[in-house]
């Protein structure tokens, strides 16, 4: 039996694509191994959002250069594959397969070519009429499942490769989304995460023409589901109806990821983000004034070309006024095929690094403050597993916080007894910048 190894970089879209690829290979009789050394087929599902991410795959391939010609087949999938195309063969001649995400439905056919000894096989077309149906997806997590609702991106943010690597937007018919969600519930999944580069611009291609809020409401009504999340939202297309949908249904989690990128309207304009700081703050206000305690997270880029000290200060002041529950922050990285690559006034790496540190220190203080306010409260957790090293169960709250806890009746998993997958109330007793700790609330059974 042929053995394959797959390593995934990048976002949840890529993680889910790897689940589809894994399922397809398992269905063809391959078995999965945990080390590239013992595999016949080594796959890297790559990310090219920043230069550092892109370089990772070339480092990996370099490590195996000496294995070329020893029967091991190497494949590069995902966004670097789409971006670099056949140039990958020049940089890493031992690679045999290069395929972007829109070509995975053709994977069985590409595998046949590889299995019959083809030296170089590519799947790089972006206008594939792919179906979103994923009969083979082999999911990594037994409780939480990803569902793709929209592929690609029609925005043209000046710094971003995604429209180029994933192509134009294609929404999936709502009937397919709902059918997959119901099937997942029958298989025991209780949490669903709806995925897309910009879920807010979802539009059902079938005559009903549902928008994202309508789809979200419908998914939230599926019997047996406990949690629904979605990512990512573009602020321009984030409408109040999404907040109303969350208010109306507790199944929809108390969390919205709303990437802002910068707190300066001038920088946002240069980034071509299509909203200003006041537009963004209006959306924040919808959430802050909601009856539900909606956690808000974001992405920030520091050091975009020409970002002045004053413009950077506006990002810091935005952090202070929004008080994000957490955020991802990045140094701007110039990318091929993007309009920002041609902009003047690049910042040097040292200055970008300094701004990143200042921003992260401020955010750390905000998180310490916000998390400490939760001490004493009771949060419902989905139990994800057990940490042997700390002797704590690992839980996740509806706000997407990690809450590690002890359980008096079950201090550790034992033969046949585990809390993983259950939903439990946990009292928060301690807090840190990145997580909470607590004790499970166990009903007193004393007479």
Residue (72 or 283) nearer to ligand SAH, CB: 283
Residue (145 or 199) nearer to ligand SF4, CB: 199
298 contact partners, CB below 8 Å, separation of at least 6: 257, 258, 259, 260, 322, 324, 327, 328
User: Which residue from 4, 30, 159, 386 is in contact with ligand SAH, where contact means CB under 6 A?
Assistant: 159
- Using CB under 6 A, which residues numbered 283 to 302 contact ligand F3S? none
Q: Which helix (H) or strand (E) holds 246?
A: helix 240-248
Q: Min. distance of Cβ 11 from ligand F3S in angstroms? A: 3
Q: Which stretch binds ligand SAH (CB under 6 A): 37-45, 89-97, 328-336, 413-421?
A: 328-336
Other beta carbons within 10 angstroms of residue 297's beta carbon come to 17
Site mask for ligand SAH (CB under 6 A), range 245-264, x = bound: --------------x-x---
Q: Does 160 bind ligand SF4 (CB under 6 A)?
A: yes
Site mask for ligand SF4 (CB under 6 A), range 225-264, x = bound: ---------x------------------------------
**Strand extents, DSSP E, 185-224:** 191-195
Any idea what the Cα angle at residue 404 is, between residues 400 and 406, rounded to 5°?
Answer: 140
Residue 18 is encoded by which pair of tokens?
């790897």
Q: Does 166 bind ligand F3S (CB under 6 A)?
A: yes
Give the Cα separation of 106 and 383 in Å (integer): 37
Sign of CA dihedral 7, 11, 12, 13: negative
Q: Does 78 bind ligand SAH (CB under 6 A)?
A: no
Pick the closest to residue 74 from 7, 165, 164, 1 (CA basis): 7
Q: Does 330 bind ligand SAH (CB under 6 A)?
A: yes
- Using CB under 6 A, which residues numbered 174 to 213 contact ligand SF4? 197-198
User: Which residue from 76, 79, 92, 153 is in contact with ligand SF4, where contact means CB under 6 A?
Assistant: 153
Give the Cα separation of 104 and 45 in Å (integer): 11
Residue (258 or 426) nearer to ligand SF4, CB: 258
Q: Cβ distance 425 to 380 under 8 Å?
A: yes
Give the Cα separation of 365 and 71 in Å (integer): 53
Q: Which helix (H) or strand (E) holds 76?
A: strand 73-77
Give the Cα separation of 65 and 60 in Å (integer): 9
Q: How far is the CA of 317 from the CAs of 306, 343, 363, in angstroms?
A: 19, 26, 11
Site mask for ligand F3S (CB under 6 A), range 328-357, x = bound: ------------------------------
User: Pairing mode, if any, of strands 392-397 and 402-406?
Assistant: antiparallel
Site mask for ligand SAH (CB under 6 A), range 165-204, x = bound: --------------------------------xx------
Q: Which stretch binds ligand SAH (CB under 6 A): 63-71, 99-107, 128-136, 326-334?
A: 326-334
Residue (10 or 123) nearer to ligand SF4, CB: 10
Residues of the shown chain interacting with ligand SF4 in the complex, contacts defined by CB under 6 A: 153, 155, 157, 160, 162-163, 197-198, 234
């Amino acid at each position: 039996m042929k053995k394959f190894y797959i390593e995934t970089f990048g976002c949840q879209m890529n993680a889910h694509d790897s689940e589809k690829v894994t399922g397809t290979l398992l269905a063809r009789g391959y078995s999965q191994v945990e080390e590239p050394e013992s595999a016949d087929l080594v796959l890297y599902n790559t990310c090219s959002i920043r230069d550092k991410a892109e370089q990772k795959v070339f480092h990996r391939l370099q490590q195996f250069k000496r294995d070329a010609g020893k029967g091991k087949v190497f494949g590069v999938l995902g966004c670097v594959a789409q971006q670099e195309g056949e140039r990958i063969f020049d940089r890493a001649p031992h690679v045999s397969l290069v395929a972007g995400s829109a070509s995975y439905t053709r994977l069985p056919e590409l595998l046949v070519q590889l299995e019959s000894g083809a030296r170089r096989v590519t799947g790089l077309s972006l206008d594939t009429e792919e179906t979103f149906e994923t009969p083979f997806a082999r999911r990594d997590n037994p409780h939480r499942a990803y569902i793709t609702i929209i592929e690609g991106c029609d925005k043209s943010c000046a710094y971003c490769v995604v429209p180029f690597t994933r192509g134009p937007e294609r929404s999936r018919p709502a009937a397919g989304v709902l059918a997959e969600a119901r099937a997942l519930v029958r298989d025991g999944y209780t949490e669903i995460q709806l995925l897309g580069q910009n879920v807010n611009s979802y539009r059902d291609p079938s005559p009903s023409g549902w928008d994202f809020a309508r789809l979200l409401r419908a998914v939230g009504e599926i019997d047996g589901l406990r949690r629904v999340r979605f990512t990512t939202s573009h602020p321009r297309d984030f409408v109040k109806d999404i907040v109303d949908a969350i208010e109306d249904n507790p199944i929809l989690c108390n969390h919205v990821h709303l990437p802002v990128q910068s707190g300066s309207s001038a920088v946002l304009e240069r980034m071509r983000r299509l909203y200003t700081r006041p537009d963004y703050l209006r959306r924040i206000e919808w959430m802050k004034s909601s009856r539900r305690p909606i956690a808000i997270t974001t992405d920030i880029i520091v050091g975009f070309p020409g970002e002045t000290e004053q413009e950077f200060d506006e990002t810091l002041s935005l952090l202070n006024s929004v008080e994000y529950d957490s955020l991802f922050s990045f140094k701007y990285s110039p990318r091929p095929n993007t309009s920002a690559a041609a902009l003047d006034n690049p910042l040097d790496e040292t200055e970008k690094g300094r701004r990143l540190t200042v921003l992260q220190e401020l955010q750390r203080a905000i998180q310490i403050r916000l998390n400490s306010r939760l001490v004493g409260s009771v949060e419902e957790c989905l139990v994800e597993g057990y940490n042997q090293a700390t002797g704590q169960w690992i839980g996740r709250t509806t706000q997407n916080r990690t809450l590690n806890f002890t359980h008096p009746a079950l201090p550790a998993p034992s033969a046949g007894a585990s809390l993983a997958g259950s939903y439990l109330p946990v009292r928060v007793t301690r807090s840190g910048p990145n997580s909470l700790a607590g004790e499970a609330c166990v009903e007193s059974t004393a007479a």
